[in-house]
A and B are shown apart, each in its own frame.
Chain A
């Protein structure tokens, strides 16, 4: 157990639908990062939150959004899903504001859009 909890582990949904992925960071970590891993794009950074505030955006589509709550858990919302959104979505956490020497990843949510 890495200490980062992601739910659900698997999700199958239809095109056009909306889903929410959840992440609880490792105890003591204030920063949460979302990544998408697909066969054609590799591991792509989506978005980062630090202590409830958005810190950085990467290759995140407008159909996707995220937030970090006061208890530091984070949710990634994916809407108007397309077949190409099928991927493994990772959440990672790290200690901030120091220069992190470890980013701990959750086990991922495998999203399949049919």
Chain B
């Protein structure tokens, strides 16, 4: 079965603290993994994709095929990072459709 799991519905941290938003996936082929972010009252925006291996807004994510994970990390959280974060998967045999996790709401307190 193709599935993306984000175990935490809500993650609350203080400004400056490290953040890790967990994502695990189940997929039989070679998946492409993404993190999308949705700031309050805004549209879903692509944050990261695993193949580009870049850092956006201080966030990084490494694909661990052994653990089937794609956790999102940031060493020092900022208040403006508060948003909904969605992990998503797509496979080359899936016609480009995205399979989303449940989402994790990140709340960064001052």
Q: Do A and B bind each other?
A: no
